[in-house]
């Protein structure tokens, strides 16, 4: 993602070295995560089979960015594991535990946490054990020093520690987000993991295409005078749109206000926020059925206020549509299963946020000048239920 004449040491001087490296390293990280889970498949499968034979539902959880992973995964978990699956943030689980945990139910709680130290995430694990008949825990984390990983000797939990490079040093989660998301997808499709290597290689290639072909254009867009960005994504891409919103706001210290919605949901009022200082980002599915709805929304945007700039992210070109920037991953059709696109389609928002942060004179590694947001949320009091 290096801009012409922009070497790593220059990014380091700008307080952007960690974030630049972590964004850039993601495609190779995805392949490494696949290899790790493939090698560990027997242990994971044994635990998962036992859990699925007893549980009545799955809850995918995390705090902040980690919570948005579940928004992209719950459909895949339901389809491939044949068990009702909800995505519920730990920040909801700890305030209203009795809405999700019941004494007559056995559940699977899949916890995503970069650090493993989020107060809500550690509390959610305790609450699930306390309030449910039984809880099988699958914990996916990036930090071997985190509290969630330190319980690895507990045989009642399945703990997956991702490669060290997934543990972002910068404030904003980049590789940790896409890495944990991919891990979840691979667990949902563990029975077929041996057949998925080709998908992961295509995914890695798509990531490199975004970084190598579109970074300069996204940097150019970041230099323009916009103050709001809208991300639209449906199905698993609603999670991508949600995380894109947070990423851009975090990296710009709240200077840029963002909104996310589904393509259909955007019609029902939120469309009114579009104005001449708005960037509108369409995250397209590669499913022809879904695209019918997405195309209709794009056509409807001709009415009302026009956005300053439009960006389309799609696997293959969309005929009869024009955008200010089209991020095209393949010129020859559909190759990836829809859910895998969520992993690479977060990269444009990461890049836009990174370059806008620099354009605003901020330090992407630590963009919060007031300290209002931090790498691990602190000062959260957990009360007894």
Residue 154 shares a structural domain with residue 268? no
Give the end of a domain, one of 156, 179, 195.
195
pLDDT 10s digits, 144-196: 998 888 876 677 899 999 999 999 999 999 999 999 999 999 999 999 999 99
How far apart CA 288 and CA 295 sit, in angstroms, is: 10
Task: Answer yes or no: do 112 and 160 share one domain.
Answer: yes
Secondary structure (H, E, C), 181-241 = HHHHHHHHCHHHHHHCHHHHHHHHHHHHHHHHHHHHHHHHHHCCCCCEEEEECCCCHHHHH
Residue of 113, 231, 174, 142 lying closest to 365 (CA atoms): 174
Domain count, the chain: 2
Quote the pLDDT of residue 136: 97
Last residue of a domain, one of 195, 229, 246: 195
* Phi, psi torsion values for 60, nearest 5 degrees: -100, 125
Amino acid 147: pLDDT: 87
pTM over 0.85: yes
Residues 189 and 304 in one domain: no
Q: Is 225 left (phi over 0), alpha (psi -120 to 50) or beta?
A: beta
CA dihedral 228, 233, 234, 237 (to 10 degrees): -130
pLDDT at 347: 98
* Residue 302: per-residue pLDDT: 82
Q: Which two tokens stand for residue 189?
A: 């499709």
110 confidence band (pLDDT: 50, 70, 90) = very high
Q: Which residues fall within 8 angstroms of residue 145, CB to CB, at 6 or more apart?
A: 116
Q: Which domain covers residue 291, as residue numbers? A: 198-359
Phi and psi at residue 72, to the nearest 5°? -90, -20
Q: Is the pLDDT of residue 84 over 80?
A: yes
- Are 89 and 119 spatial neighbours (Cβ–Cβ below 8 Å)? no
pLDDT tier at 4, thresholds 50, 70, 90:
very low
Residue 128: strand, helix, or coil: helix
Identify whether residues 214 and 175 lie together within a single domain.
Answer: no
Answer yes or no: is 271 within a domain: yes
Q: pLDDT confidence of 269, banded at 50, 70, 90?
A: confident
Residue 210 and residue 354 share a domain = yes
Q: What pLDDT, on the 0 to 100 scale, is given for residue 319? A: 86
Asked if residue 185 and residue 203 are part of one domain, the reply reads no
Considering only residues 202 and 335, tell me which one the structure prediction assigns the higher pLDDT: 202
| Mean pLDDT computed over every residue of the chain | 93
Residue 335 structure tokens: 């190759």
pLDDT for the residue numbered 1? 63
pLDDT at 338 over 90: yes
For residue 130, what are the contacts with CB-CB under 8 A and spacing of at least 6? 101, 385
The predicted-structure confidence for 340-380, as pLDDT tens digits, reads as follows: 999 999 999 999 999 999 999 999 999 987 666 655 666 78
Q: How far apart are CA 184 and CA 204, in angstroms?
A: 17
- The CATH number given to whatever domain includes residue 42 is 3.40.50.10490
Per DSSP, 138 falls in state E
In this predicted model, what pLDDT tens digit does every residue of 205-241 receive, in sequence order?
Answer: 999 999 999 999 999 999 999 999 999 999 999 999 9
The phi and psi torsions of 198 (rounded to 5 degrees) equal -65, -40
Same domain, 243 and 167: no
User: Would 5 be classed as within a structural domain?
Assistant: no
Q: What was the pLDDT predicted at 6?
A: 45
Structural domain contains residue 203:
yes
User: Based on the domain organization, do 256 and 111 belong to the same domain?
Assistant: no
pLDDT band at 93 (very low <50, low <70, confident <90, very high): very high
In the chain, the percentage of residues whose pLDDT exceeds 90 is 81
pLDDT (0 to 100) of residue 373: 65
Contacts of residue 229, Cβ cutoff 8 Å, sequence gap at least 6: 245, 248, 256, 257, 258, 259, 278, 279, 280, 281, 352
| Segment 30-65, tens digit of pLDDT | 999 999 999 999 999 999 999 999 999 999 999 999
One domain, residues 328 and 297: yes
Placement of tokens 């369409």 in the chain: 282
Residues 170 and 202 in one domain: no
Are 90 and 212 found together in one domain? Answer: no
Residue 5, pLDDT score: 37
- Res. 2: pLDDT tops 60: no
Contact 196, 48 (CB under 8 A): no
Domain boundary among 142, 171, 195: 195
Q: Which of 175, 203, 188 has the alpha carbon at shortest distance from 337?
A: 203
Is 376 contained in some domain?
no
Full 3-state SS string of 256-287: CEEEEECCCHHHCCHHHHCCCCEEEEEECCCC
């Amino acid at each position: 993602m290096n801009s012409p004449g922009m070497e790593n040491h220059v990014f380091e001087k700008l307080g952007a070295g960690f974030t630049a490296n972590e964004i850039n390293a993601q495609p190779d990280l995805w392949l490494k995560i696949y290899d790790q889970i493939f090698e560990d498949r027997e242990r994971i499968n044994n635990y998962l089979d036992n859990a699925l034979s007893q549980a009545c539902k799955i809850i995918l959880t995390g705090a902040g960015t980690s919570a948005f992973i579940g928004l992209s995964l719950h459909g895949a978990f339901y389809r491939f594991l044949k068990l009702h699956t909800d995505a519920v943030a730990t920040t909801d689980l700890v305030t209203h535990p009795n809405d999700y945990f019941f004494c007559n139910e056995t559940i699977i709680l899949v916890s995503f946490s970069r650090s493993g130290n989020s107060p809500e995430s550690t509390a959610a694990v305790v609450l699930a054990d306390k309030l449910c008949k039984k809880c099988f825990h699958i914990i996916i984390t990036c930090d071997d020093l985190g509290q969630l990983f330190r319980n690895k000797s507990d045989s009642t939990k399945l703990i997956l520690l991702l490669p060290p490079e997934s543990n972002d040093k910068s404030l904003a989660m980049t590789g940790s987000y896409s890495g944990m998301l991919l891990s979840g997808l691979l667990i949902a499709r563990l029975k077929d993991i041996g057949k998925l290597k080709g998908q992961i290689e295509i995914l890695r290639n798509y990531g490199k295409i975004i970084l190598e072909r579109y970074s300069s254009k996204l940097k150019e867009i970041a230099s323009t005078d916009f103050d709001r960005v809208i991300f639209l994504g449906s199905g698993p891409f609603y999670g991508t749109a949600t995380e894109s919103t947070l990423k851009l706001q975090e990296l710009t210290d709240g200077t840029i206000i963002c909104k996310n919605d589904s393509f259909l949901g955007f019609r029902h009022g939120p469309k009114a926020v579009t104005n001449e200082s708005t960037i509108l980002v369409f995250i397209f599915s590669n499913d022809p059925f879904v695209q019918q709805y997405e195309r209709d929304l794009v056509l409807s945007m001709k009415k009302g206020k026009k956005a300053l700039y439009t960006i389309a992210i799609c696997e293959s070109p969309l005929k009869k549509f024009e955008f200010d920037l089209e991020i095209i991953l393949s010129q020859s059709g559909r190759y990836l299963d829809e859910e895998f696109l969520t992993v690479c389609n977060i990269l444009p928002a990461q890049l836009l946020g990174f370059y806008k942060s620099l354009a605003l004179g901020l330090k992407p590694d630590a963009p919060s000048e007031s300290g209002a947001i931090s790498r691990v949320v602190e000062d959260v009091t957990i009360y007894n239920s």
